[in-house]
């Protein structure tokens, strides 16, 4: 008997009724189970009950704002989060990534692109679970005092564990697997985010900044107009 996979469950947290309804209708049309929360407290309650596969989370919410909601969600039950921001402000984006968001979009946004990004988030989590369940353990990658454990999806620097979101981890592994090789933003979008759209290259840039802030700017070199390269310390070369 063929097992039919359960539909993806999505929690949409948005206090603007028109946007919440439009997003819910579109995701329902994709065959996903959707629930809508209108404020931060309701979102946390719904998330604890639903255990959603992915969350669409507006930053500006009544009561507890989206950043605090995201921080609490990741502390209680790590889940992929796509944040919606009202302003195209890189500072806001970096703050969102810093509290555990995996991706972000700025209002107004394309519904088609929203669906594509959410599908990519879900695929990435499924792929990570398959790798974790695999009996083939990939050796850690070491760069100076940074150790990237691909099998356990953990990163340490010195004696301290560094928390990376699933997206940040996959981005770091992609770069570290080809040290000193320049990878274009477009390739990173295709390989890490599972979608190729030149308009999303700022997403790559913001995630790179978040990783640098956690692990040090010297590990990832910017090649202006092209992309990025992982640069392990020279002393690590054999």
CA–CA separation, 204 and 106 (whole Å): 15
Percent of the chain with pLDDT over 70: 87
pTM (2 d.p.): 0.74
Question: pLDDT digits over 217-231, tens only?
Answer: 999 999 998 999 999
Mean pLDDT of the chain: 86
Residue 95's CB is within 10 A of a number of other CB atoms, namely 17
pLDDT band, residue 122 (cuts 50/70/90)? confident
Average pLDDT over every residue of 65-75: 91
For residues 114 and 196, give the distance between their C-alpha atoms in angstroms, rounded to a whole number.
13
The DSSP bridge pattern shows strands 227-230 and 183-184 to be antiparallel
Output the pLDDT for position 237.
45
- CA 215, 217, 223, 224: dihedral to nearest 10 degrees? 120
């Amino acid at each position: 008997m063929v097992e039919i996979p359960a539909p993806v469950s999505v929690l949409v947290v948005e206090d603007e009724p028109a946007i919440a309804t439009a997003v819910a209708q579109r995701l329902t049309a994709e065959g996903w189970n959707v629930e809508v929360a209108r404020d931060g407290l309701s979102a946390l309650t719904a998330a604890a009950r639903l255990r959603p596969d992915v969350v669409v989370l507006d930053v500006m919410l009544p009561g507890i704002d989206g950043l605090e909601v995201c921080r609490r969600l990741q502390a209680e039950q790590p889940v992929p989060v796509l944040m919606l921001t009202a302003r195209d402000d890189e500072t806001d984006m970096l703050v969102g990534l810093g509290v555990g968001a995996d991706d972000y979009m700025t209002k107004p946004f394309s519904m088609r692109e929203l669906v594509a990004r959410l599908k990519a988030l879900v695929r990435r989590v499924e792929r990570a679970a398959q790798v974790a369940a695999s009996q083939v353990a990939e050796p850690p990658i070491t760069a100076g005092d940074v150790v990237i454990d691909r099998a356990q999806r953990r990163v340490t620097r010195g004696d301290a564990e560094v928390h990376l979101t699933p997206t940040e981890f996959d981005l770091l592994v992609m770069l570290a697997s080809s040290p000193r090789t320049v990878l274009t933003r477009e390739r990173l979008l295709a390989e890490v985010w599972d979608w190729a759209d030149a308009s999303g290259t700022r997403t790559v840039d913001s995630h790179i900044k978040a990783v640098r802030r956690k692990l040090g700017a010297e590990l990832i070199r910017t090649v202006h107009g092209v992309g990025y390269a992982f640069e392990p310390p020279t002393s690590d070369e054999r």
